[in-house]
Amino acid sequence: MPDGTALNAFRESTRKWIRDNFPGSLKGKGLGYEGDADSGLAKDLDVWRARLAGQGWGAPTWPKEYGGAGLSQSEARIINDELIAAGAFNPISMLSGMGITMVGPTVLEYGTEDQKRRHLPGIASGEVRWCLGLSEPNAGSDLASLATKAEDNGDHFVLNGQKTWTSGANISQWCGAVVRTDPKAKKRDGISFVMLPMDQPGVRTRPIKLIAGASPFCETFFTDAIAEKRDLLGELNDGWSVVKRLLQHERQSQTGSRVAASGEKPTPIQELAKTYVGTNADGTLADADLRLRIADHLMDARAHTLTIARITAEAKGNVQVSAAASILKNSATKVAQIKAELTLELMGAQGLGWEGDAFTNKELGAVREWLSGKAMSIYGGSFEIQNNIISKNILGLPETTQKG
């Protein structure tokens, strides 16, 4: 781990590099802007993505030979902090879909050298988007009940079945899927994790509409789809171990850690409240009850941020994904959902608009964020599932859920 002097020098060089390379046209923009109709901005975004990828900053802690920069966690945090300070953002995590946060880290741990060299550089550069085929219509929280099967056919598997809630499946090039390879084994013992290209006749996707409007979710259908044997991740019939680790990485990515996802700095909720609700003569928020609840929320948010910092510090720069991610995932969910509720409340009628010139973009975004945020306590493992993990793996309480 670099010492303080080395980190200070790295911060200065990072600040200069961002100043010299970040396109000014993208300042104040953020993730999702790549879909804008302005071709000039789309071109600038691709230039910025390529520059970040050239630095290895799409996945800065990954080894250089796999598209990363071989940096420490401390250096990666400096990059993120300096991007935020400059009003810049890093689009690669979003462009890779589930690649940076989930697939890549799991391939680094379980993949063969061939798999790492074939798949990781495309993820780290944001050029290849990944989705994950996990949940099924009859296998959600009880994922081990999955029915999608993969039959051995020499040098490849033939997949048949259905997945649901596959985020970004309709725009992804690759999919990591858990499938049943031994129907006679116990349900957790006959599962394997395979990787397969989405652009093939045996794969069909259908978007799922949500109440918040835009939706990343899809149903995915496999009909004699092909997954090569060389893209089996981990051991045959030991996919349960692989997917458990992958889900730990997912929870880690949902802990609410500050990321450079947008060049626009959000307005603090207490300042937003003063704008909509008004203030007393002494400058305090006019609504005393709302003032108290916002203060409680800000304390919870600060406690969550400090807990992330403490866990990171205790790891001495070598952050390991563990059951603690379940604590942080539930804490992040609570903080985000309460903030969305408070924001709608303080906006009053202006927080309930769906369209029209009577509402600002921030107001229209608030109601959509409130609606989409309801899913936080479900996706990535439900709030209750995380509590079970905390009780068993951290508190040491007895197993009370179904075994199998």
Q: In this predicted structure, what is the pLDDT of residue 41?
A: 84
In this structure, are strands 191-197 and 174-180 parallel, antiparallel, or unpaired? antiparallel
Q: Are strands 232-233 and 218-228 parallel, antiparallel or unpaired?
A: unpaired
> Is 172 in the same domain as 66?
no
pLDDT tens digit sequence for 179-211: 999 999 988 899 999 999 999 999 999 998 877
Buried b (16+ CB within 10 A) or exposed e, 71-100: bbbbbbbbbbebbbebbbbbbbbbbbbbbb
State pLDDT tens for residues 261-281: 555 567 899 999 999 999 999
Cα separation, 335 vs 342, in Å, equals: 11
Shortest CA distance to 165 belongs to which of 220, 212, 105, 114?
Answer: 220
What does the block give as tokens for 105? Answer: 């880290």
The predicted structure's pLDDT at residue 140: 77
Do 272 and 386 lie in a common domain? yes
Taking residue 296's Cβ as centre, other Cβ atoms within 10 Å add up to 12
Q: Is residue 245 part of a domain?
A: no
One domain for residues 287 and 385: yes
Burial of 358 (0-12, 13-18, 19+ CB in 10 A): exposed
357: CB partners within 8 A, 6+ apart: none
AA identity, residue 145: S
Residue from 16, 17, 44, 7 nearest 28 by CA: 44
Same domain assignment for residues 144 and 233: yes
CA distance 107 to 300: 35
User: At which of 79, 95, 111 does a domain end?
Assistant: 95
Tokens of 94: 């979003």
Q: Indicate if 158 and 234 belong to the same structural domain.
A: yes
Q: How many domains does the chain have?
A: 3
Question: What per-residue confidence (pLDDT) applies to 368?
Answer: 87
Would 259 be classed as within a structural domain?
no
From CA 65, how far away is CA 258, in angstroms rounded?
Answer: 27
Residues 211 and 290 in one domain: no
The pTM for the full model equals 0.78
> In the numeric block, which tokens belong to residue 262?
């947008």
Distance CA 88, CA 358 (A): 30
DSSP state of 28: T
Question: The CATH number of the domain where 78 resides is what?
Answer: 1.10.540
Distances (CA, A) of 272 to 28, 46, 267, 345: 19, 34, 6, 11
Q: What is the pLDDT of residues 56-83, one digit of tens each?
A: 999 999 999 999 999 998 899 999 999 9
For residues 45 and 87, state if they share a domain. yes
pLDDT (0 to 100) of residue 293: 95
Cβ–Cβ < 8 Å for 196, 160: no
Instruction: Answer yes or no: is 291 within a domain.
Output: yes
Residue 255 lies in a domain: no
- Using CA atoms, how far apart are residues 351 and 373, in angstroms rounded to an integer? 15
Dihedral, CA of residue 308, residue 313, residue 318 and residue 320, to nearest 10: -40
The per-residue pLDDT for 1 is 57
CATH number at residue 176: 2.40.110.10
Would you state the pLDDT for residue 34?
Answer: 41
- The Cα 279–Cα 275 span in angstroms is 8
Instruction: Count how many Cα atoms sit within 13 Å of the Cα of residue 280 in the half-sphere of its side chain.
Output: 7
Whether residue 244 lies inside any domain: the answer is no
The per-residue pLDDT for 247 is 80
Question: Is the same domain home to 335 and 383?
Answer: yes
Q: Is residue 348 part of a domain?
A: yes
Whether 173 and 227 share a structural domain: yes
Residues identified as active-site: 250
Looking at residue 11, its amino acid is R
- Choose one of 42, 73, 95: the last residue of a domain: 95
Structural domain contains residue 401: no
**Together in a domain, 86 and 167:** no
* Predicted pLDDT of residue 39: 64
Same domain, 134 and 59: no
Q: From 332, 163, 170, select the one nearest 253 (Cα to Cα).
A: 332
Q: What is the CATH number of the domain that holds 364?
A: 1.20.140.10
In 3D space, the residue among 227, 235, 301, 316 whose CA is nearest the CA of residue 266 turns out to be: 301
Contacts 24+ apart (CB under 8 A), 4-11: 7/74, 7/75, 7/78, 10/75, 10/78, 11/78, 11/82
Ranges of residues in the chain with a pLDDT under 50 are 33-37, 319, 404
Residue in the structure block whose two tokens are 């603090």: 268
Residues 300 and 203 in one domain: no
Per-position DSSP letters for 339-381, written without gaps between them:
HHHHHHHHHGGGGG--SSTTS-HHHHHHHHHHHHGGGGGTTTS
Q: Which residues span the domain enclosing 228?
A: 130-239
Domain end (from 222, 239, 256)? 239
Residue 103 is assigned to a structural domain of this protein: no
CA distance 255 to 331: 7
